[in-house]
Every structure is written in structure tokens, then in C-alpha cells.
Structure 1
Amino acid sequence: MFVLDRHGHPLDPCHPARARRLLAAGRAVVARHTPFVIRLKDRDTATSAIEGVQVGIDPGSKHTGLAVFTDHGGSRTGRYAIRLDHRGAAIRDRLSARAALRRGRRSRNLRHRAPRFLNRTRPQGWLAPSLQHRVDTTLSWVARLTRWAPVTAVHVEKVSFDTHALSAGRPLEGTDYQQGTLAGYEVREYLLTKWGRACAYCGASGVPLNLDHIHPRSRGGSDRVSNLTLACIRCNQAKNATPVEVFCKGKPALLARILKQAKAPLRDAAAVNATRWALWRALETAGPSVHTASGGRTKWNRSRTSAAKSHTLDALHVGHLETVTTWPSTVLVVKATGRGTYARTRTDRYGFPRLRLPRTKRVKGFATGDLVRAVVPSGKKAGVHLGRVAVRSTGSFNITTRHGTVQGIGHRHVHLLQRADGYGYTTHPETRHRAALPPPPEGGGLHTGGI
């Protein structure tokens, strides 16, 4: 648990059991519900020995892993794990829908609008809103962790592959093609991510995978990454030099999916590469010292500690380390939900307003999205309900809990726990160890034999 002194300055985190004892003894009060933060009444940073913690970041397109840990001579102990779920896809879809509406208005025979100036320029380092959102939310949570814990260093993982090198069309040939797992690592990691670490033909996962040419080289196929896929040993040997159209004969849906996925770029990789430098530069100006590492080192660290593949465990294994003694058993999932909309009306299917929304956001001191706890003493809804509230002007609220939505709870029974901050919070257990896999063939788990 995060701990603050009596002035609100961060102290070293403590165990949940110790936090419960401090609260029961009256020595501490709850400063924040989620993540749980307590504030000590009788402690000051000037009289406390502070060891400090470090933060590991595993940036991703849809999810970003954050790990708070202590480091003693390369031996790390995980203290807290957070998975941040971005809403970049929703932002992109809304911007695309708005652009489509604008194009439609321009093409219709409506009122004429004089053309605007065409000399608009974008500042250096500009990112699309869907990409800037990933940088902003990650920086926001690093700043929050810095307020709640004495962060001394931040470790950021670089991407595992370079899409610019892949798009240049350099073929994977010679020693790059024949050597072990680390040779041609960018191409291999790109294919693992693009094809979901599973065989493209039978869908088998958790087994050694080969690089396979969709159109065989013996029949004129190239070594470009757009002609490469993943295949298990059995499918790779069965396909051999057979054209993919013949091998997938009788399975038109599978053939169409393979050909379509082979041509489609990996958007998630492009998003990560577009935001990595912006995130790095922003973190350097944030305060704590920033250390960068590669995805290959993170993967190697996880293999030594037998840790499973997850964003939070990747964040814990970023950078130089000797071992990881333990990591949290529960992950806090933080989903970016936004803070609502500026629209003051609801429209029908023809675009005409059908419902006007009230301008007053708060009702009886509550706003939609607040985290509340309702204790109903009697009636059909008797019990304790913990969740997000949806306010109504009548004072009868709806509360969405993990079990569903409870409607019609009077505001007199509702107690505020935490104001809405644009994020939704859930928890899920962390995977302790990776699944047992068969021994990899000589040269690594991802090899190129038989193709």
C-alpha cells in the first residue's frame, strides 16, 4: 500500500496487513480509495528513513504495464502492478466518424462556406490525438505514482522490432535466416506479434514455431516480411513447397484470412514506435532519472525468472537485473474511460434533438462516475452496494457494481468514496509462472528448419 506522511509527502510503501493495523490503531487515515493510499498522522519525512522505489514501464498500443519495485543490488521485489488500458482506438474511431460527417456536408448542396486558409502547419513532434493519448495517460500515471511513492528511477522498455527496417524490404537471408533465435530478432518478434504467437494454418500455440513462406521460394516467393508467417512443425512439413492455394484447398475462409493478414501492417507496432520517443523525452523532463532497455533484454530476464508473458511482468523485468524475488499476486486494471461528452442533447436517427441534458452535473453532491458505497438497511435492495453511481435529478441513483446495476437507491444511503477521475478500476490475478512448454529445438524456440 502507498503511504504518505502527515504533510502528504510520499513514504516507502507498506504491506496491506500493516496498513490495516495502522488504520485500526488510529495512526492513519485513508487518503485515497483506489489505488489505496493511507496518510500517517504521526510520521514525517524528516524523521523517516526512506529507501525509495523504482518504476518499470512496458509501453504498448492497447495496454501499458506499470510496476513499482525495490532494487537491492539487481534483486528486484515487486510492490505494485498496474495495467493501463488506453482508449486510443475509440478516439481514432470518433475522429474518423467526424471526418466522414464533414466530408458529407461538403459534398451536399448546402449553404456555401468560403474556403479557409491552407497554410496550417503542425508543430514539431506532433502526434495524432489517438497516439498523444497514450503518452499523456502514461505520463499522468507516472506522475501519480511519484506523488504516492518516493520514485528514484524510471525504466522504460524500447520496442522489440523496428518497423522502418522491415518496411525497407531487406530480406532475411544467409546467416540471418539460418542462425538461432536472436538472429533476425526484429523480423521474428514482429511475426510473433502479428500472428498472435500461433500457427497460421492450424492455430496451435505454446509449441515451437517455424518461419514459413506463404508463397514458397522455390516457386518465386520472396523473403520479404509480407510473405512470411508462422507454422508449427507439423504444418510446416506438410506444406513444404506446396502453394498456399493448394495447401488450403477446401478451406476458403482460412486462405482468405491468411492472405489478408499477410498484407495488413501491424498497426500496434506502428503506434508504439510513433510514441516511444515522445514518451522518452517527456519522462526525462518529469523528474526521476530515466533508464531505457530493449525488449530483447526484457524477454531474456523473464526467461531466467520463469515469469509469464504480461504487460505488468514485462514492466517488472525491464532493464538490467539479476533476479526477481517476488511480484504482486493481484494487478490493478486501470481503464481510461474519459470524462463524458460536451454534447448537451441526444438526437434521433435523423439527427434532430430529442432529449436535452441538464447543465448541472452534480446532484445532492454526487456526479455520474463517482465511486460510492451505499448501505441500504431494508427493502428489496437491502445490503451494501459498492460501485460507480449514475445520478438522477430526482435523487434516486443507479449504482453499477461487479454483480450488475442496482437501480433506484436513495441518495441518503450513498456515501462518497472517490470522485470520478476518468478511469475505471478492476483487479485480476497475476499469472505466477509461464505454462510448461516442450523443449525447444536446437537453435531456439522459434526456428526456421524445413522452410
Structure 2
Amino acid sequence: MAVFVLDKTGKALMPCTEKRARLLLARGRARVHRVMPFIIRLVDRGAAASNLQPLRIKLDPGSKTTGGALVRDTDVLAPSTGEMQRGAAVLNLFGLVHRGRQISAALTARRAMRRRRRGNLRYRAPRFLNRTRTEGWLPPSLQHRVDTIMAWVRRISRWAPVTALSSELVRFDMQALDNPDIEGAEYQQGTLADYEVREYLLEKWGRVCAYCDTTNVPLQTEHIVARARGGSNRVSNLTLGCAPCNQKKAALPVEVFLAKDLKRLSAILAKAKRPLKDAAAVNTTRWVLANALKTTGMPVELASGGQTKFNRTRFAIPKTHALDAVCVGAVAAVSGWRAPTLVVKCAGRGSYQRTRLDRYGFPRGHLTREKRVHGFQTGDLVRAKVPSGQKAGTHIGRVAVRATGYFNIQSAGEVVQGVAHRHCQLVQRSDGYGYSRQLYPKETQEKAVLRTARYPFPA
């Protein structure tokens, strides 16, 4: 992973390698500014003596995890046209794990408890009619996702000289699906147009043959109303079929081909006209995120999910949230993507609730009113060196403080309970996130290469 570098005044410089960062620290030319993610600050140089290169933040928004990548834009010569195209040299990979489900569950539980207390125990006149919502309001679970992504975009922009942004806006390009014969758009004249339609059909029909429910076989694009009978290329007239079913149906009307299976016929006709829910061109959350990205003042490139998968398949890159972010938008070549991913898990900054509740909504027990115990606070990153006993060893992770002075330490793989505070050493104060590094096994790359070799796709 690349190391973020700041000058002596705190301005962002070009990230460096881990080896160079160790040399700068060993020679006294830099000091540690932050541990996770690792940032150093120079003590002998300002930004005036540095050459900055164009860096780009790429985002692949997801409901549970958002992939992010910091890449350096490179110039790649296209052999077919002889023109210079944009490549991506990966510097850092991020996986931002949201907690929207926890927020939604907490709000649901709080609403149920309040309803119980106000409805069954005492009467209070309703006052929800005087509540108003601002324009563009989103539920807290969705607003959290947008705010968290924007917070990390601003963070990385402070740590690196970012000049542009790229984000996946919609999973499929609905314009290319609704009118495949449109002219004047470059992506519809190449191979990506068919790829966009195919990815949409795979998602809509569940990757099974519509006529025989066969799975795990190569599927072909099938016209419900054959072109020979006046059928169009619109996505509402397309489905998926295995090779035997496709050849057997040929140009027959679907009513004749499925005359003995009227239940399947009605299901296919109904599903063909029904749009895919996740493929709406105007997705509220994604458009809010796109508009928020534009407020940064940097150029924003918006792309579709079909183009992301096209790039990932073309370069034989494994599927992860972070690597999907690398493949977002127009990219002619990718290098350095085998770097580990920094997994950032949203954990919150504590709770105002000082009691636990029973199933009836009444207080049960009391939490400590002091957030810090022996100088530690829940969420701090600590290093615990236990000399002896069952928990002997070095444990690094987020700490959960207890009034007794015996803490729980949560690392990436396990939770160590009952570690005395005297064995703990503070590494970094809590900032609402948990950090861990994720490495990719070699077999993941091998599977990607085999999949690309089995289903070759034209470049």
C-alpha cells in the first residue's frame, strides 16, 4: 500500500512506497502523522519543491460496502487507433463497510419502545403531524451512506493531491437498453453496448434459461418475438436461453413453442415487460451522492455497472468491491491492483443511551457515565502485550472499555476478552471507524484468469 505524505505545513504530497517511508522515518526526515491509514509528515521540505501527478479517487457505491481506490492517471497508447488513452496505476484500495442496517434496526427498536410506553402505559396526544421534511430528505440509514462516502473523499483529498473523481452511478445504462439503435454515442458503437444488455438480462432473469431453468451453462440472448417475425432488439423483447432451447425455438412464436406449458409462458411474458427494480436510471441515493461529489469542485466521471464489469473481465481482475472501483469508468490499462485492501468499518462514535432496555421498553441496568476508563475510550486502537496466562501475546485492535479496568479487544478475526488496562498501549484515538487489512489469495486471481479464458470477450 502507498503511504500518504504531507509536507511540514500539512499540505498533501505524492504518496510514496512503504520502503521509502521507512527510510524517511529512520533518517529523521519525517515523523508519523497518523497510524491508520498510515500517514507521515516531512519535517525538512515544503510543497514548493515537489512535483505532483494527477490522482483520481474511484468509487463503487454498494448497499453494504463501498469500494474505493486511489489511482494515478497514466497515458496508454492504444495499438488499434494510435491514440493516447487513460490508464490507472493503483496506489491504495479501500473497502468502506457501512452500518445502515444497524441504524435502521436501532431506529425501529426505539420506535417500538416509544410506541409501547406511550400507547399502553399513558396517553399522549399525537404530534407527528407537525413534523416536516426538507427537500431531498433521505432516511438516516441511507443518508449515513452518502455522508460516510463524502467524509472519506474529503479525507483522502486532504492526504493526497486528488484532481478528479470517478463513481459508478447506475448498474446499467438504461439509454442503451431502451434504444439500442441510437447513433452518435461511442459506447453504443463498440462491444460495450451488447455487454450492457447481456449484464442486464443476466441480472433480470437470474442467470437461468427462461425455457428450461438450466443453470451453470453458457446462456444466449433470445428474442421472445423473433426478428424474422418483426421482433425488436428492445430489452423488453429479450430473454436468456440455453443453446438447445434457442435452436429448438428458432423463429417459432413463443405461444407455439410453450403451448404445453402455459404457466411458464405467462410468467415469461409478464416478466419481460416488468423492469428490473435495481436498474432504475434515477436512483435516489446514487444521484444524491453524485451531486454531492460535484460540490467538491473536481471533475466527476459517472459510469455504469455494465462498463465496470466489462473492464474487470477484460483485464482478468478478481471481483471485490475495491477492485470494482478500480475498473469504474473509462480505463485502458490497470497496474498495481494486487495491493492489499484497507477495510474501514463504520462503528459510530458511541451512544447517548445510558441504559439498556427490556422487551417492554423500560430501563434495565445503567451504563457508566464516563466514556473514558483509565485513559481509554471504546473504539480506541490499542496494542496489548500480555506477558502470561491464557491471553499471552500481542493483540492489536479496537478496545471496548469496562468500568472494572478489564477491556475487550476486537481485531479483524477474533475478540480477546478480559485484558487488563495496564497491558494496553494507545495507538490511535477513536474516530468512529475500525481498520483492518485484507489480502487476496492467489487462487482468486487464478479463478479470474480461468473464467476469462473460458468465456473470452473481445477487447
TM range (shorter): 0.7 to 0.9
Q: Give the structure 2 partner of residue 126 of structure 1.
A: 137
The secondary structure found in structure 2 opposite 1:66 is strand
Higher relative contact order (CA 8 A, sep 6+): 1
Q: Give the structure 2 partner of residue 22 of structure 1.
A: 24
- Higher alpha-carbon deviation: 114-123 or 54-63: 114-123
- Higher alpha-carbon deviation: 91-100 or 377-386: 91-100
Alignment gaps of 5+ in structure 1: 174-178, 215-222, 249-255, 446-451
Q: Deviations over 1:380-412 (max 9, x none)?
A: 433211112121222222222345333332222
List aligned pairs for 1:150-165, cutoff 5 A.
150-161=161-172
Give the deviation of 1:139 after TM superposition: 0.3
> What is the rounded CA distance, in whole Å, between the counterparts of 1:244 and 1:189 in structure 2?
30
Percent identity reads: 56
The secondary structure found in structure 1 opposite 2:373 is coil
| Counterpart among 23, 44, 47 of residue 45 in structure 1 | 47
> What is the rounded CA distance, in whole Å, between the counterparts of 2:113 and 2:223 in structure 1?
42
Matched to 2:403, the amino acid is S
The secondary structure found in structure 2 opposite 1:141 is helix
- Higher alpha-carbon deviation: 131-140 or 333-342: 333-342
Q: Does the 8 Å contact 1:52/1:149 carry over to 2?
A: no
Give the deviation of 1:150 after TM superposition: 0.9
Change (3 A) 1:377 1:95: closer
> What is the rounded CA distance, in whole Å, between the counterparts of 1:352 and 1:264 in structure 2?
47
Q: Does the 8 Å contact 2:117/2:361 carry over to 1?
A: no
> What is the rounded CA distance, in whole Å, between the counterparts of 1:213 and 1:360 in structure 2?
67
Change (3 A) 1:304 1:203: closer
Q: Does the 8 Å contact 2:113/2:361 carry over to 1?
A: no
Q: Give the structure 1 partner of residue 68 of structure 2.
A: 66
Give the deviation of 1:137 after TM superposition: 0.8
Matched to 1:357, the amino acid is L
> What is the rounded CA distance, in whole Å, between the counterparts of 2:180 and 2:331 in structure 1?
32
Give the deviation of 1:360 after TM superposition: 0.5
Q: Deviations over 1:3-47 (max 9, x none)?
A: 111222211111111112222223222222221111222221122
Give the deviation of 1:281 after TM superposition: 1.6
Q: Deviations over 1:159-207 (max 9, x none)?
A: 13268999xxx8999xxxxx99856766643443456656784552xx5
| Counterpart among 396, 404, 416 of residue 406 in structure 2 | 396
Q: Give the structure 2 partner of residue 220 of structure 1.
A: none
- Higher alpha-carbon deviation: 430-439 or 25-34: 430-439
Change (3 A) 1:101 1:225: farther
Q: Give the structure 2 partner of residue 366 of structure 1.
A: 376
Q: Does the 8 Å contact 2:342/2:437 carry over to 1?
A: yes
Query: Aligned pair 1:144/2:158, yes or no?
Result: no
Q: Does the 8 Å contact 1:12/1:52 carry over to 2?
A: no
- Higher alpha-carbon deviation: 87-96 or 18-27: 87-96
Give the deviation of 1:83 after TM superposition: 1.5
Q: Let me know the Cα RMSD of the aligned residues.
A: 4.3
Q: Does the 8 Å contact 1:61/1:269 carry over to 2?
A: no
> What is the rounded CA distance, in whole Å, between the counterparts of 2:121 and 2:175 in structure 1?
44
> What is the rounded CA distance, in whole Å, between the counterparts of 1:199 and 1:384 in structure 2?
53
Q: Deviations over 1:180-236 (max 9, x none)?
A: 9856766643443456656784552xx53346799xxxxxxxx99899875654687
Matched to 2:427, the amino acid is L
Alignment gaps of 5+ in structure 2: 76-85, 182-188, 225-232
> What is the rounded CA distance, in whole Å, between the counterparts of 1:208 and 1:318 in structure 2?
26
The secondary structure found in structure 1 opposite 2:151 is helix
> What is the rounded CA distance, in whole Å, between the counterparts of 1:355 and 1:295 in structure 2?
48
Give the deviation of 1:110 after TM superposition: 4.5
Q: Does the 8 Å contact 1:152/1:289 carry over to 2?
A: yes
> What is the rounded CA distance, in whole Å, between the counterparts of 2:364 and 2:275 in structure 1?
42
Query: Aligned pair 1:345/2:345, yes or no?
Result: no
Q: Does the 8 Å contact 2:407/2:418 carry over to 1?
A: yes
Q: Does the 8 Å contact 1:81/1:328 carry over to 2?
A: no
TM-score (norm 2): 0.76
Query: Aligned pair 1:418/2:428, yes or no?
Result: yes
Q: Give the structure 1 partner of residue 97 of structure 2.
A: 85
> What is the rounded CA distance, in whole Å, between the counterparts of 1:318 and 1:117 in structure 2?
43
> What is the rounded CA distance, in whole Å, between the counterparts of 1:337 and 1:194 in structure 2?
34
TM-score (norm 1): 0.77
Q: Give the structure 1 partner of residue 80 of structure 2.
A: none
